[in-house]
Structure 1
Amino acid sequence: MVRTPAAAQRPLSRRGFLGAAAALGAGLTLSGCGGGNAAPPGGVSVLAFQPPSLGAFLPAIIMARGIDRDHGLPIRFSFTTPDNYNTEFFAGHHDVGGSAALLSEALRTERQVDVTYLFNLFDYFSAVVTSDPGIRSLTDLPGRRLAAATGTTNHAMFEWFARRNGLDLDEVELMNQTPAGLSTMALIGRTDATEIWEPAYTSLRARKPDIRAIDIGLDNWKSEFGTDVIPYLGLAARGEWAAAHPDEARTLFAIYRDAAQYTTTQPADAAAVIAAASPNGKAATLQKLIEDPTRLKLHVAPAASMVRDIAAVFDAGRSTGYLTRTPPDSIVYKGLS
């Protein structure tokens, strides 16, 4: 068992927080301006989605707290758009993908990409929000307009829940948006409902408290698959890198595990750090999210400890046609078991 460094346990003083936030902001600016992608000496490079995103949550903590240096594995984080993420990571410009959606990684294996899911960070959460009093359940959506980021794996997972609840999405007028545009659609009310997830969901509720979330039937997952754990987002690596760097993979897990522990035990400090790294980030809003595990779904665990849960996600992906076959066993990294 890897010892939790003292730096990952103690809260930041106000002076320490301000210095860390300034350093973090500088780091984000460098990566946003196309800083070098190569791993630092003796370290690893990790690519993630730009904040605000779940993939940028724990990197903000890691950078501000120096948790990577405490573990002896310096990390160079870079942040980009989802489209660029796919291009850069799988062109080999980065060692590890830190915004790896499990279904996306499974789909890559169908395209003959050798990729392995190292460990999980967040379980699945999604919500459908509306201000229309006539929409009380998913079955009220046929014939109405639903804003959704239809190209995302969050939406691909949502399709399973829609079908399970008797909603045929072909009967809904889907209005495709970027993930960043979903909050705007919900705020201005140009659609009847919006499918949205964290951290945008919490920010939206803070800005529009009267908006309602309708039940998408997350409890149906357990009745179908016998588990209520839905692995969703984690770290993935190219297979050859993972095979050649088992020590680095184990240390990466320890780093992220310690960052998650700090986040949950010091929610106010963690929220301030994450807010400083996010455009228009609100620390009070993020703190409420961190303190609500039913929505944040922070769950850092080795992929090898979640084989049954991962298999359920793949079953769901096949049932909706998102996947055409079961991914190879190699998609689950065994080095952390």
Structure 2
Amino acid sequence: MTKLTRRSFAASAAALAAGAAIPVRAQDKPVIKVSSLTLPVFNPLVWNVMKARGFDAKHGFTLDIHPYPSIAAFYAGFATGETDVLIGGPTIFVKLAQQGVPVRIIGSGFTLADLVIFAKDPKIKSLADLKGKQLAIDMGGSQYQVVKIYCAAKGIDLGKDITVVNANFAVARAQLEAGRVDAALVIEPLASIITKQHADWHSIFNGAEGWKEITGEAGWEIVPAMRADSIKRVPKAPQMLLAALQDTAAEFENNTAAADKIANETLKLPPGILTAAVESKRLQMIVKPAWDPAVKKSITDMMERAVKAGFYDKMPDGAIIYAP
């Protein structure tokens, strides 16, 4: 052994003895990239709470949040493969699948309980009372599809019997405030904000109640989906993500004050809004695997009804519902 080699060996041995020379790194956790929104809705709050509470690390992955300023960009990020995961409307995933996006629904998420239609006129008590009147609603969203399917089941032609004014949630609320429409559709957290600011407004339709009335199930407002190529890259990603989502749902329910604080700090929601949404039972996050027979049946039923209503030409391949 040469003098130089002996010195190098001795230095390395001394460093190892001190525990500082060549650190032993744990295997890097897989990164799961998720589409989020910069809008004050509960979709980004799911990821914010998950990250703040460290549920991603707990279940063996690193959450990488990609915020988007609009719904269109939000879906586009997932469609192009910029992100691995998106939480969105189950019926909208039919459209993505038909466009060739390798979407796989991996579980359940928020029920339709957070979909609410408000009216100011006390004489308007149901959607049937809106005949001949105007409803502000986002026609590009899955919420519109749910309401139209419900109306059709009740013999109401949404768009003919009820005039539709295309408006996103914030604009719909403003239209009702200004008296330009007779009712407006919103989702949480705007629904809880409205109940605090407008005591004279009342709900004439709740998505979960309406969907259960015609199907026997509460239905799903949004569900988590992952790209098939992302699952191929990280085969256990669906199970890891679902476990973290279940912890996040439990945080909303059992540690609401802490989640409310995160909502205020990250989304600038007024204090108490998340708490109000949870306590009102409008915010119901129920996370189960998509391959659970009951969950698979309820999600498939929603997609089938959207196809039957004419929103899409045909059902996607059965692989859209992921199974390990």
With the length of structure 2 as denominator, give the TM-score of the two structures: 0.84
Counterpart for residue 15 of structure 1: none
Change (3 A) 1:223 1:179: closer
Q: 1:166 offset after TM fit, Å?
A: 2.8
The answer to whether 1:251 aligns with 2:243 is no
Counterpart Cα distance in 1 of 2:214 and 2:262:
39
Change (3 A) 1:264 1:116: same
Secondary structure of the 1:304 match is coil
Counterpart for residue 200 of structure 2: 210
Counterpart Cα distance in 1 of 2:207 and 2:49:
32
Counterpart code for 1:313: M
Q: 1:136 offset after TM fit, Å?
A: 2.1
The answer to whether 1:238 aligns with 2:227 is yes
Q: 1:220 offset after TM fit, Å?
A: 5.4
Counterpart for residue 23 of structure 2: none
Change (3 A) 1:216 1:51: closer
Question: Is residue 45–residue 267 contact of structure 2 (8 Å, CA) maintained in 1?
Answer: no
The answer to whether 1:174 aligns with 2:164 is yes
Counterpart Cα distance in 1 of 2:222 and 2:34:
14
Counterpart for residue 189 of structure 1: 179
Q: 1:90 offset after TM fit, Å?
A: 1.0
Question: Is residue 150–residue 214 contact of structure 2 (8 Å, CA) maintained in 1?
Answer: no
Give the counterpart of 1:286 among 259, 265, 274. 274
Counterpart for residue 64 of structure 1: 52
* Counterpart mapping for 1:84-163 below 5 A: 84-97=73-86, 99-125=87-113, 126-163=115-152
Identity of aligned residues (%): 22
Counterpart Cα distance in 2 of 1:323 and 1:58:
29
Counterpart for residue 300 of structure 1: 287
With the length of structure 1 as denominator, give the TM-score of the two structures: 0.81
Counterpart for residue 24 of structure 1: none
Counterpart Cα distance in 2 of 1:217 and 1:250:
28
Question: Is residue 50–residue 245 contact of structure 2 (8 Å, CA) maintained in 1?
Answer: yes
Counterpart code for 1:139: A
Q: 1:219 offset after TM fit, Å?
A: 4.4
Structure with higher Rg: it is: 2
Secondary structure of the 1:316 match is helix
Q: 1:102 offset after TM fit, Å?
A: 0.7
Question: Is residue 267–residue 291 contact of structure 1 (8 Å, CA) maintained in 2?
Answer: no
Change (3 A) 1:137 1:224: closer
Structure 1 unaligned residues grouped into runs of 5+? 1-39
Secondary structure of the 2:109 match is strand
Counterpart for residue 29 of structure 1: none
Give per-residue Cα distances to partners, 1:97-119, cap 9 Å, x unaligned: 2x321111112222232211112
Counterpart Cα distance in 1 of 2:207 and 2:260:
29
The answer to whether 1:312 aligns with 2:287 is no
Q: 1:190 offset after TM fit, Å?
A: 2.1
Counterpart for residue 76 of structure 1: 64
Question: Is residue 111–residue 208 contact of structure 2 (8 Å, CA) maintained in 1?
Answer: no
Which one is further off, 295-304 or 135-144? 135-144
Counterpart Cα distance in 2 of 1:266 and 1:216:
25
Counterpart Cα distance in 2 of 1:52 and 1:319:
33
Secondary structure of the 2:107 match is strand
Give per-residue Cα distances to partners, 1:149-189, cap 9 Å, x unaligned: 11101111111112223321122221111233222223333
Counterpart Cα distance in 2 of 1:258 and 1:223:
30
Q: 1:216 offset after TM fit, Å?
A: 5.6
Q: 1:218 offset after TM fit, Å?
A: 4.7
Give per-residue Cα distances to partners, 1:16-67, cap 9 Å, x unaligned: xxxxxxxxxxxxxxxxxxxxxxxx9731111123332231121121122122
Counterpart Cα distance in 1 of 2:103 and 2:178:
40
Change (3 A) 1:205 1:270: same
Counterpart Cα distance in 2 of 1:77 and 1:215:
33
Structure 2 unaligned residues grouped into runs of 5+? 1-27
Secondary structure of the 1:105 match is helix
- Deviation beyond 6 Å, 4+ runs, structure 1: none
Change (3 A) 1:166 1:236: same
Counterpart for residue 271 of structure 1: 260
Counterpart for residue 36 of structure 2: 48
